[in-house]
Every structure is written in structure tokens, then in C-alpha cells.
């Protein structure tokens, strides 16, 4: 099982390049950022690639609604060329609550849109001219004007439900899970690999990856409170509420939502969530607490790529990121 790091804090690009070099020296395979309201994720990956030589750099995820298929293909191909084939493109449907107000984008038929986008990107990377009038996404008479074309970008589809998981298995290079405990990783991985088999693809060609939040600090209670705050923030989003319910954590999510409405701090949220949910959905502790146990649970579940998403503890994002790099790189 490979190990990556995920960060998206408000950190200047020059410092991010330093961090990328540290991640590479620590032996991690990959470094990921997500795209929300901060720095452009593709430009961040470009900066990371320029500061490293072997580290894979990824977006996890770019919303499929904010760029046209042609724009995505151009950006991915440019990053592949700049990074010498080290770019990883994660795609996801995101949330209507942000896509509409922020971008004026209409979120509709996400499964169909994801399928159409994957097909268009694959055709463009083969050097073909598009001729796709889709139900949601379209592209006609466009061909990448890049010669020579770089190697195809590895595309990961963010997925939770069975249909999106199957789409990843049949049409993407990997699936990117989120807030998934080991049992959920095993369940989702089985769906992805079966879909790959049904599509006539070797199941080992489709990578199962997941974000797992980690909070590292010399104060274990502060680390646990920071992790609980992250879980509770996502637990109130409808898609993630259902996702946690499928994993048996519906009651924990409901308790956390109530504690959040009552103004509870991270410690109260941790108590509301309970040990089972906290331990399955993330990890928190001191650098000395890091062991192979958490990694082994995910490896035994069939995970291929564990991405440790850093949770900031306190006010110093850079210190939290470096603590995670040192702790898990050494482990």
C-alpha cells in the first residue's frame, strides 16, 4: 500500500514548494490538494512538481462543473508535460450548495455527467477530435493542439454510492474515497474491482485510494478535538450524512450534529461521536503514538493508496503539516 499526504491550507506557494520537497524526502508517493475557494489546485500542483523530481502531485478533487471537458484536458496535459507524467487528476461532483452560488453552475445528473466527462477526456488524450453531444456535457470539433501528446493522465473518480463506484471501476484509473473506514474501503473496493472485471479490465489496473484525516500534536486531546471538528463539519452535509449512515455511524453523526447546534467545542464533538466513529474515520495522537496499526487496517481492507489528509491542530497550519510529514514519514 502506497502512502500520500493531502493538504489544502492557506499556505504561500513558496512555502508549499518547501513542504513538497519535504514530503518527497520523507518517502511519500504523492501529495494532494483539493479545490474549493483558495489557490487554483492545478497551479498548486504545478508549483509542487517544479520543486520535486519523483513525487506524484494530485488534485483531489476538481469539481466537474467548473471547467469544460476541453479545459480540463488542456490543463491535465500541460501538467503531465510539466511534471514528466506525475500528475494525478481527481474528479468529483462536489455539492450543489457551493457549485450554484459560487460558480453559477447547475449540478444535474451527476452520474451521467461523470461518465460523459471521462469518455471525452479519454478520447482527447488519445489525440482524437471530439464529437460528443451528451445529455449533460458536450464537446465537438476539438482536438488537443499539443505535440507530442504527453502520456495519459491517471484519472480518479470521487465516489461513495454503488453506481459511481462502478463507474470508476469501468472507466477511470482509480477511485478516490473520503470519510471511509476500513470496512467501507473493503465494500467499495469490491464494487470497483467487480466493475473493472465486468468491463474487461484487469482489476489491478484500477487503484483504490482514500483520504483519511490525521491530526498530529503533542497534546493528544487537542488533536482529537481537531479531528472531531472535521468529522462533524462533514457529517451535516446530506451526502456525507447518508454515507456515514451506510457505515453504521448514523447515530454518531446525529449526536455530533446536535452538539454542533448547541455550540459544543471539539472536545464535546469528540464525546458525541464516540470512539468507534472517531477511530474508524480518522486518526489523532502525538508523534510518539504513530504506529503501523492504522495503516495495517486499511491495507488488510484492500486499499492501494492511503492519503493522509492533514488536520490542522491549533493556529499553525505549517507546523501541523510538518508534524504529520515527520511522524508518518518516519513510521
pLDDT < 70 positions in the chain: 330-331
- 278 occurs within a structural domain: no
| Percent composition of the chain: helix, strand, coil (DSSP 3-state, to 5) | 50, 20, 30
**What CATH number corresponds to the domain at position 189?**
3.20.20.30
- 242 occurs within a structural domain: no
- 53 occurs within a structural domain: yes
- 37 occurs within a structural domain: yes
- 257 occurs within a structural domain: no
Query: What pTM does this model have?
Result: 0.96
105: left (phi over 0), alpha (psi -120 to 50) or beta: beta
Count of structural domains, the chain: 1
Predicted confidence (pLDDT) per residue in 94-152, tens digit: 988 899 999 999 999 999 999 999 999 999 999 999 999 999 999 999 999 999 999 99
Tell me which residue range forms the domain holding 40: 2-220+284-330
Give the pLDDT of residue 331: 61
Closest CA to 304 of 205, 234, 218, 201: 205
- 194 occurs within a structural domain: yes
- 112 occurs within a structural domain: yes
53: left (phi over 0), alpha (psi -120 to 50) or beta: alpha
- 188 occurs within a structural domain: yes
Give the pLDDT of residue 203: 87
Amino acid at each position: 500500500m502506497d502512502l500520500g499526504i493531502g493538504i489544502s491550507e492557506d499556505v504561500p506557494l513558496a512555502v508549499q514548494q518547501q513542504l513538497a520537497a519535504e514530503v518527497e524526502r520523507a518517502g511519500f508517493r504523492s501529495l494532494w490538494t483539493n479545490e474549493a475557494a483558495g489557490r487554483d489546485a492545478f497551479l498548486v500542483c504545478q508549483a509542487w512538481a517544479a520543486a520535486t523530481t519523483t513525487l506524484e502531485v494530485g488534485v483531489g478533487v476538481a469539481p466537474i462543473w467548473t471547467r469544460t471537458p476541453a479545459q480540463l484536458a488542456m490543463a491535465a496535459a500541460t501538467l503531465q508535460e510539466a511534471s514528466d507524467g506525475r500528475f494525478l487528476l481527481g474528479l468529483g461532483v462536489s455539492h450543489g450548495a457551493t457549485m450554484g452560488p459560487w460558480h453559477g453552475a447547475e449540478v444535474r445528473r451527476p452520474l451521467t455527467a461523470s461518465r460523459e466527462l471521462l469518455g471525452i477526456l479519454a478520447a482527447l488524450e488519445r489525440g482524437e477530435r471530439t464529437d460528443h453531444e451528451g445529455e449533460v456535457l458536450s464537446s465537438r470539433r476539438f482536438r488537443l493542439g499539443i505535440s507530442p501528446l504527453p502520456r495519459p493522465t491517471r484519472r480518479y473518480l470521487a465516489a461513495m454510492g454503488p453506481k459511481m463506484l462502478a463507474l470508476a471501476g469501468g472507466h477511470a484509473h482509480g477511485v478516490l474515497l473520503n470519510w471511509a473506514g476500513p470496512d467501507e474501503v473493503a465494500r467499495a473496493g469490491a464494487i470497483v474491482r467487480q466493475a473493472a472485471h465486468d468491463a474487461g479490465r484487469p482489476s489491478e489496473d484500477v487503484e483504490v485510494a482514500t483520504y483519511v484525516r490525521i491530526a498530529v500534536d503533542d497534546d493528544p486531546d487537542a488533536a482529537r478535538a481537531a479531528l472531531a471538528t472535521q468529522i462533524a463539519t462533514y457529517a451535516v452535509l446530506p451526502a456525507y450524512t447518508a454515507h456515514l449512515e451506510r457505515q453504521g455511524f448514523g447515530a454518531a453523526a446525529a449526536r455530533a450534529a446536535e452538539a454542533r447546534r448547541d455550540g459544543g467545542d471539539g472536545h464535546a464533538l469528540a464525546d458525541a461521536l464516540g470512539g468507534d466513529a472517531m477511530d474508524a474515520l480518522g486518526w489523532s495522537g502525538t508523534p510518539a503514538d504513530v504506529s503501523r496499526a492504522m495503516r495495517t487496517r486499511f491495507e488488510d481492507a484492500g486499499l492501494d493508496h492511503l492519503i493522509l489528509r492533514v488536520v490542522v491542530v491549533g493556529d499553525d497550519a505549517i507546523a501541523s503539516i510538518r508534524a504529520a510529514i515527520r511522524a508518518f514519514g518516519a513510521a
